[in-house]
């Protein structure tokens, strides 16, 4: 399957709350590509956009957007998203979080048996350390998004389209050439952080689901590095090869040449606008977006809201109401018989 990723917003600290920024991904199995491409063509025709051009959110009416979302909901495309309110992410809070993350990574240097491993960990820490607060926030949201995709989409497709798990093709919007440092950090940092997180928060697999096509991404028994095994409290018999899953086919693409990235852009932009309450029929759009998302555990929101602040009094009511609509409308994880 293809995974297309794009963001909406600058992720720069804002003076007021409710300043939402979103990074979103769509997972798209090969069997649904034609239907999704047709939905994009229809939207472009309705907005008077040439097929070779991009259609942006500000060119789409609310009715046209709802029709587009409805067409997507009839496919096996899934929407995953992580959002953060830049109004509560003060620069000092973000910088402290960044420094703490670097310190945690450097603690692993003595655990490396070989010099190459020690240098690799130090390089990982240096990549995070040099990121601006803006790009660091974006990276944290990206990593959180990837974790949601890996832990939840696999079970969804294992029931419905098992063959979609045979290959993961990641396509990320390349905004401009000035983000070379960020792209390097993403390609290096994200798999490393996710590998550690997957050991701490292993994804569950369900008896009776078909994971045969996914076997190539599993680390065989005895293959988990000893230093990682020692950091956990239980014996790890099987684990995912996150490095292979993400880096095997990962590309940064110009959205002009990728319909999938264009879809991710429209969904990220629409979700950001919805969290800000900027649609006339905001609850209706929230429901329509929710139909593209996947049920989370324990009635948690199907999209993840990340905050670098611990102040619960800063909660955004508008966004909270939109998320409640998404929870009601999201797709069930388990198929009813």
Whole-number pLDDT of residue 309 = 79
Q: How far apart are CA 229 and CA 192, in angstroms?
A: 15
Q: Is the pLDDT of residue 313 over 50?
A: no
Confidence of residue 277 (pLDDT cuts 50, 70, 90): very high
Query: Distance between CA 106 and CA 213 in Å, rounded?
Result: 36
Least confident stretch, 15-19, 52-56, 115-119: 115-119
Per-residue confidence (pLDDT) for residue 193, from 0 to 100: 78
Q: Mind listing the pLDDT tens digit for each residue in 183-226?
A: 777 788 888 778 767 666 766 778 889 999 999 998 776 666 66
DSSP per position, 148-163: HIIIIIHHHHHHH-GG
- Strand partners of residue 49: none
Give the span between the Cα atoms of 188 and 247, in whole angstroms.
Answer: 9
Confidence band for 104, pLDDT divided at 50, 70 and 90: confident
Mean local confidence (pLDDT), 228-243: 65
Residue 3's beta-bridge partner residues?
27, 170
For a pLDDT cut of 90, what percent of the chain falls above it? Answer: 62
C-alpha–C-alpha distance, residues 76 and 322, integer Å? 23
Percentage of residues in the chain having pLDDT higher than 70? 87
Q: What is the mean pLDDT of the chain?
A: 88
Residues 210, 207: Cα–Cα separation, whole Å: 9
Task: Of 32-46, 62-76, 139-153, give the lowest mean pLDDT range.
Answer: 139-153
- Domains of the chain, by residue range, sit at 2-329
Q: Which residue has better confidence, 205 or 320? A: 320
Angle between helical axes of 62-73 and 259-275 (0-180°, round to 10)? 120
């Amino acid at each position: 399957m293809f995974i297309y990723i794009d963001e909406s917003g600058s992720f720069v600290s804002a003076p007021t709350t409710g300043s939402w920024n979103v990074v979103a991904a769509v997972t798209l199995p090969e069997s649904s590509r034609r239907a999704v491409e047709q939905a994009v063509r229809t939207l472009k025709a309705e907005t008077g956009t040439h097929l070779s051009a991009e259609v942006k959110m500000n060119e789409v009416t609310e009715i046209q957007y709802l029709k587009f979302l409805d067409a997507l909901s009839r496919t096996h495309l899934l929407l995953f998203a992580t959002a953060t309110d830049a109004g509560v992410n003060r620069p000092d809070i973000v910088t402290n979080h960044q420094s703490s993350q670097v310190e945690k990574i450097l603690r692993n240097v003595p655990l490396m048996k070989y010099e190459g491993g020690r240098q690799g960990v130090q390089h990982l820490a240096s990549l995070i350390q040099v990121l601006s607060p803006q790009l660091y926030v974006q990276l944290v949201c990206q990593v959180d998004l990837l974790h949601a995709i890996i832990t939840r989409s696999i079970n969804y497709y294992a029931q419905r389209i098992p063959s979609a798990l045979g290959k993961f093709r990641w396509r990320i919007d390349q905004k401009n050439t000035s983000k070379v440092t960020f792209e390097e950090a993403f390609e290096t940092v994200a798999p490393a952080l996710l590998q550690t997180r997957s050991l701490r928060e292993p994804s569950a697999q369900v008896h009776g689901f078909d994971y045969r096509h996914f076997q190539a991404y599993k680390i065989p028994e005895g293959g988990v590095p000893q230093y990682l095994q020692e950091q956990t409290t239980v014996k790890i018999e099987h684990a995912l090869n996150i490095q292979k899953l993400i880096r095997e086919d990962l590309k940064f693409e110009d959205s002009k040449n990728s319909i999938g990235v264009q879809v991710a852009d429209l969904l990220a932009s629409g979700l950001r606008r919805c969290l800000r309450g900027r649609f006339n029929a905001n609850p209706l759009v929230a429901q329509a977006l929710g139909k593209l998302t996947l049920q989370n555990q324990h009635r948690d929101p199907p999209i993840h809201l990340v905050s670098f602040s611990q102040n619960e009094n800063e909660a955004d009511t508008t966004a909270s109401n939109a998320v409640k609509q998404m929870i009601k409308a999201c797709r069930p994880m388990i198929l009813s018989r």
